[in-house]
Amino acid sequence: MKTVNMHEAKTHLSKLVEAATNGEPFVIAKAGKPLVKVVMIESEPVKRTGFLKGQVDAPEDFDNMFADDIRTMFEGQDV
């Protein structure tokens, strides 16, 4: 594992963080003494599609609800 001193870490932080996100953790040291280990945070991606499945009911005509009213508002005439 790569060890860098504090000054080098400040100077090259963007590159070091990019390397850490690519699976190359590193240690930051001060006066040769290791202080912190920098690793990528691994978390499960949030699944959004279908997250309310079975919890919300929509009417069968949801896609066409109020279509006549909306058409009247845009066209300015009674249907």
Distance CA 59, CA 76 (A): 27
Distance CA 59, CA 20 (A): 49
For the question of whether the overall pTM of this predicted structure is more than 0.75, the answer is no
pLDDT in tens, 10-38: 999 999 999 999 999 999 999 999 999 99
Query: What single DSSP character describes residue 76?
Result: -
Q: What is the pLDDT of residue 78?
A: 60
Task: Please check whether residue 19 is in contact with residue 38, taking contact to mean a CB–CB distance below 8 angstroms.
Answer: no
State CA 71 to chain mean position distance: 38
Q: What is the pLDDT of residue 46?
A: 76
Q: What is the pLDDT of residue 42?
A: 83
Task: Please check whether residue 67 is in contact with residue 59, taking contact to mean a CB–CB distance below 8 angstroms.
Answer: no
pLDDT in tens, 32-78: 999 999 999 888 777 777 777 888 888 888 898 899 888 888 888 76
